[in-house]
Amino acid sequence: MNTQTLGPRVRAKDRVVFVALAVIALLCVAVAADIVGFVVLLIPIAILFFAFVVFVARRPVTAAYVFLATQPFVGGIDRGQLIPLLRPSEAIQAVVTGAVLCGLLVRIVHGERLSVRITRLDRAIVLLCALSSLWPLFWMLARGRVPSSTDLYDTVVLWRLAALYVLFRWVIRTREQVRRCLWILLVSASLLAVLAILDSLGIWHATGPWTPTVGDDSTGRGGATLDSAIAVGDYLAYSFAVVLVWLLRTKEHRGVILAAAGVIFLGILGTGQFSAWIEGFIVVVVVAHHEGQLSRLAKWLGPIAAVGAIIAWPVISTRLAGFGGGALPHSWQGRIDNLTHFYLPQLSGFHWVLGIRPDTVLQAPETWRTVIYLESGYLWLFWVGGIPLVAGFLWFLWHGFRHTKRVAKERADDDIGIATMGARAALWCLLIMSLTDPHLTLRGGSDLFFCLLGLSANLIVPRRDPRPDVPFEPRPELSKPWVRQVSSP
Q: Where do the domains of the chain lie?
A: 122-321+342-464
Measured over the CA atoms of residue 54, residue 57, residue 58 and residue 64, the dihedral's sign is positive
Question: Residue 76: pLDDT above 50?
Answer: yes
Asked if residue 115 has pLDDT above 80, the reply is no
Going by pLDDT thresholds of 50, 70 and 90, the confidence category of residue 126 is very high
| Angle (CA) 318 324 328, round 5° | 95
DSSP H helical ranges for 75-213:
88-109, 120-142, 149-154, 157-171, 175-200
Whether the per-residue pLDDT at 10 is higher than 50: the answer is no
Whole-angstrom distance, CA of residue 77 vs CA of residue 79: 7
pLDDT at residue 485, as a whole number: 41
Q: What is the pLDDT of residue 428?
A: 97
Give the model's pLDDT for residue 143: 94
pLDDT-based confidence at residue 163 (cuts at 50, 70, 90): very high
Which pLDDT band holds residue 83 (cuts at 50, 70, 90)? confident
Spatial separation of the C-alpha atoms in residues 254 and 265, rounded to whole Å: 16
89-93, 263-267, 331-335: range with lowest mean pLDDT? 331-335
Is the pLDDT at 459 greater than 50? The verdict is yes
Average pLDDT over residues 306-313: 75
Which band of pLDDT confidence, cut at 50, 70 and 90, is reported for residue 22?
Answer: low
pLDDT at 233: 95
Residue 6 has pLDDT above 80, yes or no: no
pLDDT in tens, 378-433: 999 999 999 999 999 999 999 999 999 999 999 988 999 999 999 999 999 999 99
Average pLDDT over residues 27-51: 65
pLDDT for position 4: 41
Query: Is it the case that residue 197 has pLDDT exceeding 60?
Result: yes
Proportion of the chain above pLDDT 70, given as a percent = 82
User: For position 129, what pLDDT does the model report?
Assistant: 97
Structure confidence at residue 221 (pLDDT): 78
Q: At what angle do helices 445-456 and 377-410 cross, to 10 degrees?
A: 30
The DSSP code for 414 is S
- What confidence score (pLDDT) does residue 488 get? 37
The DSSP letter of residue 343 is: I
pTM of the model: 0.85
pLDDT grade, residue 286 (50/70/90)? Answer: very high
Radius of gyration of the chain from Cα atoms? 25
Higher pLDDT: 335 or 61? It is: 61
Q: Name the residue among 106, 243, 115, 109 with its Cα closest to residue 235.
A: 243
Per residue in 223-239, pLDDT (tens digit) is: 889 988 999 999 999 99
Query: How far is residue 138's CA from residue 337's CA, in Å, rounded to a whole number?
Result: 31
**Contact criterion met (CB below 8 Å) for 307 and 265:** no
pLDDT above 50 (res 469):
no
Burial class (CB in 10 A: 0-12, 13-18, 19+), 265: buried
Distant-in-sequence, close-in-space partners of 294: CB < 8 Å, separation ≥ 6 = 285, 288
Where do runs of H (alpha helix) occur along 7-87? 12-33, 36-58, 61-74
Mean pLDDT computed over every residue of the chain: 84
**At a CB cut-off of 8 Å and minimum separation 6, what does 191 contact?**
72, 73
Beta-strand relationship, 371-372 and 483-485? unpaired
Mean pLDDT of 468-483: 42
